[in-house]
Structure 1
């Protein structure tokens, strides 16, 4: 028996990185997973690998309301219901606050904050109609503190935590639990763009990232997307049945403070 047997869960940004690992783990635990992304080729390949009984790919720009409605309709048509959502999709831009163009700031908000809002607003009624379920929002370490050069990103992740708490209060009467994962640095293309650069030396890039987080993180390394997926599974399954409205930091101890050793 899997921990998510009988569940139907939409995972956004699921074609690669953290979302891909969440989709894989959820399917292994018995869920039927709706892989939602704008990376059509990768998303379709993942769905095909997992099998049509376990996975469906849908194109979804999380900042577009009409695409959310279409994704939910496709999920219900394929699997009959929706009783789980992982709002994982997000983008990161590095820029000094006073140098950040308004367009760039708004782009990050559209995906990270409005995408999360639209996901909850669209999917929560379906989860309620299914008898209850869970929503897991992907916030960030930076949603609980500050970090230079990621002002737009940090602002949206603070907002995601606020939305999570409000949603938890409002949706509890419909038997819907809402929590947030707050990753620190995780070894994905978003954190390490060199993974997507065909001209980059992957070994050198990996070594540079490893050296950086060896110094910054008490546990001495960058996080793995599979580790975040395991936390999302916990918050989606019955093991967390009495938990709602909470942020869960998974950062190797980074937020704990500064070590002088």
Structure 2
């Protein structure tokens, strides 16, 4: 029996109809929102800062977007936002937990206040978001959640609050993936390494040192991180859940020996 004829080209990629992105007033969150809007998603942008300028940019370009004020550490605020999404769109198909902060403080310089604040925003915020969003995603037939972690959630990073929050986010993603699978909700964590954004401004020595350890020889471009977010939200990753996606130019897998070999070149 001959095999069934297959189309010459794959079906078009399907992206979620309605997506909520946190930390979306600027930076990578805004880039994720713009990219989703260009692909037809109605994007709900949420932040403690004003998302209106990015929303205007999206709608002026013909996209659909809505702004929300959201403190991710506030459980009631999360429910206010998801209730608004339900009222305006009737569904939610994707969530990007992008909001986060970093404090580059070494272990003994990290105060209890810094520790609590970083974990509250980076980890508890994502937990509250998943808990508030999952019932609406279930009622929508399922969906995809992308938690923006970091390679600091895979290695022993020098800043304990940031590293602990990102390791926690890795574990949270895996726990949620198992619990929410019966609701057809996928949960994955994305682990960027060094990314060329404004957050690196004023850290030239840190960036130069880190770049020397990257086998690819450069930081990631923001669009490369957005491409991974789009993939994890799309139907192209339909069988992925509980996974860690690392985008770091080989830093975690080979960075140590890459740097050792560079430093020892000519001595081997």
Unaligned runs of 5+ in 2: 1-10, 263-268
Match for residue 50 of structure 1 among 48, 54, 58: 58
Other-structure match for 1:69: 79
Other-structure match for 1:11: 21
Distance 1:8 1:185 in 2: 29
Distance 1:16 1:182 in 2: 19
1:23 paired to 2:33:
yes
Other-structure match for 1:253: 250
Displacement of 1:214 in angstroms is 3.5
- Kindly provide the CA deviation profile for residues 50-76 of structure 1, in whole angstroms up to 9, marking residues without a partner as x: 118510010111111111111112222
1:59 paired to 2:69:
yes
Other-structure match for 1:225: 222
Distance 2:125 2:172 in 1: 12
Distance 1:48 1:212 in 2: 39
Counterpart secondary structure, 1:179: strand
Distance 1:103 1:38 in 2: 20
Match for residue 35 of structure 1 among 36, 45, 51: 45
Q: 1:145 to 1:213 in 2, by over 3 A?
A: closer
Larger-gyration structure (1/2): 2
Distance 2:238 2:164 in 1: 29
Displacement of 1:78 in angstroms is 2.2
Other-structure match for 1:238: 235
Match for residue 179 of structure 2 among 170, 175, 184: 170
Counterpart secondary structure, 2:198: coil
TM-score, normalised by the number of residues in structure 2: 0.87
What is the correspondence of 1:75-154 to structure 2 with a 5 Å cutoff? 75-148=85-158, 150-154=159-163
Distance 1:214 1:158 in 2: 22
- Kindly provide the CA deviation profile for residues 204-223 of structure 1, in whole angstroms up to 9, marking residues without a partner as x: x7x76764444121111111
Unaligned runs of 5+ in 1: 195-204
Distance 1:5 1:247 in 2: 20
Distance 1:53 1:80 in 2: 18
* Matched pairs, number: 246
Distance 1:179 1:133 in 2: 12
Displacement of 1:244 in angstroms is 0.5
Give the superposed CA RMSD. Answer: 1.8
